[in-house]
Amino acid sequence: MLEHEVKIPAMPETGYQIRIGADILGSLWPEIESSFGKLNKFIVTDENLVSAGHLEKLTGQRNIPTYVIKPAGETSKHINTVISIIEAMEKVKLGRDTLILALGGGTVGDIAGFAAAIFKRGVPVIQIPTTTVSQADSAVGGKTGVDSSISKNAFGAFWHPAAVYIDVATLVTLDERQFRAGLVESVKHAIIADARYFDFLETNLDSILQRKTDVLETIAYKNCRIKGEVVEVDPLEKNQRRMLNYGHTIGHAVEAASGFELLHGEAVAIGIIAAGMIEIEMGLSQPQRLERIRRILEKLEVPVKLPGNLAENQLIEIIKHDKKAVDKWPRFVLVSDIGRVYSQNGQFAVEVSRELVEKILKQL
């Protein structure tokens, strides 16, 4: 037997800029050209962005090859859409010297980010998120994923963007339900990482709901900073990054059990309440903390109770099959205080018994 070891060399630290402003979409192109001028450009967006006029704002009079996802939304987050995008790039003779621009919400970001990860072994992508949820969450961090015909996020890659541009003015035209549900990720960020940010959200909620762009800029910045700092420590989600999963274990189960009738943020709101109830039961919290959180979520008009048609045993079954489950039961992210994640032996996802979760679901 002969042996040889192949070393995979260390990779130096790199990074990317997030730029946040109001009404910046129309002036981005020259900036993109000055940073990425050598690359051909290809835009991925969806029909909502086209009808809102955002695509035109971005490109101006320029003629940039573009793939418009139809229909907009989750049903298009499928491997077949990625294949169509890559074949569209090939048809206009684009090669590995191409920069993909993802203009849209989380679905567009996921689809375009994954297409960038696998086109000719990877090309750069710029994320230009246009929804509360994608500006707060999915545009930063490099996770991409699309569904197979069997399950969600069956295909995916870690693929960091080359830059992120956030124009909070794109939120002004966002559908009210989407706008509010997306803010739940901001509440989550405040709960896990920043008590003063939580105070800010409480104090400024009216201005946020009126979509005043100065507060929207502030929360976009806070969200990116919190998410960015967590991702920096643990980009491949070995431990710390799991804290971003706060409210998500039960939230994902509620979202799936609702047949995706509930929006992601709406389901996570219920998951955040459930996490708060678990914390009280485990002696990590007093009821007042949960009441503060509940008040902010109620003001967002997102659900804080389980819809009556969801059976607890169905939720338990889904939780048992959580993708992070080990021996058919996942760990949970909890906080010991607003702004501070509870850890056990250095682990940011901790054991919570199935019995306790069943009890909470009955009360929820």
Which residues of the chain form contacts with its own copies (CB under 8 A)? 1-21, 24, 79, 83, 86-87, 90-91, 95-96, 114, 117-122, 140, 142-145, 148-151, 153-158, 160, 164, 217, 220-221, 224-225, 228, 231-233, 235, 323
Backbone dihedral angles phi then psi of residue 333, each to the nearest 5 degrees? -95, 130
CB of 60 vs its own copies, minimal distance in Å: 19
Nearer to its own copies (CB atom), residue 21 or residue 307:
21
Structure tokens at 58: 């971005």
Question: Minimum CB separation from its own copies for residue 144, in Å?
Answer: 8
For residue 76, give the H/E element and its range. none
CB of 197 to its own copies, least distance (A): 14
Question: Cβ 18 to its own copies, closest distance in Å?
Answer: 5
Q: Cα separations (Å) of 125 from 11, 79, 309, 323?
A: 20, 18, 41, 27
**Which of residues 221 and 310 has its CB atom nearest to its own copies in the complex?**
221
Q: Rank residues 118 and 316 by Cβ distance to its own copies and give the closer one.
A: 118
As given in the structure block, the two tokens for residue 105 are 């919400």
- Picking from 15, 21, 19, the residue whose alpha carbon sits closest to that of residue 231 is 15
φ, ψ dihedrals at 300, nearest 5°: -75, -10
Which CB sits closer to its own copies, 125 or 277?
A: 125
Question: Which residue, 125 or 300, is less far from its own copies as judged by CB?
Answer: 125
Rounded distance, CA 314 to CA 56, Å?
45
Residue ranges of the alpha helices (H) in 194-303? 195-209, 213-233, 248-257, 264-281, 287-299
Residue 288: CB minimum distance to its own copies, A: 33
Smallest separation, CB 30 to its own copies (Å): 14
Q: Which residue, 192 or 302, has its beta carbon nearer to its own copies?
A: 192
Comparison of 48 and 134: residue with beta carbon closer to its own copies: 134
CB of 316 to its own copies, least distance (A): 18
State which residue, 5 or 355, has the beta carbon closest to its own copies: 5
Query: Residue 26 CB, nearest distance to its own copies (Å)?
Result: 14
Determine the length of the chain: 364
How far apart (Å, rounded) are the C-alpha atoms in residues 193 and 137?
14
The residue written with tokens 């021996």 in the block is 327
278, 237, 259: which is closest to 362 by C-alpha? Answer: 278
Structure tokens at 25: 């979409």
Residues 77 and 46 sit within 8 Å (Cβ to Cβ): no
Round to whole Å and give the CA distance between 277 and 272.
Answer: 9
Nearer Cβ to its own copies (37/287): 37
d(CA 250, CA 317) in angstroms, rounded, equals 11
Distance CA 162, CA 310 (A): 41
Beta carbon of residue 90, minimum distance to its own copies (angstroms, whole number):
4
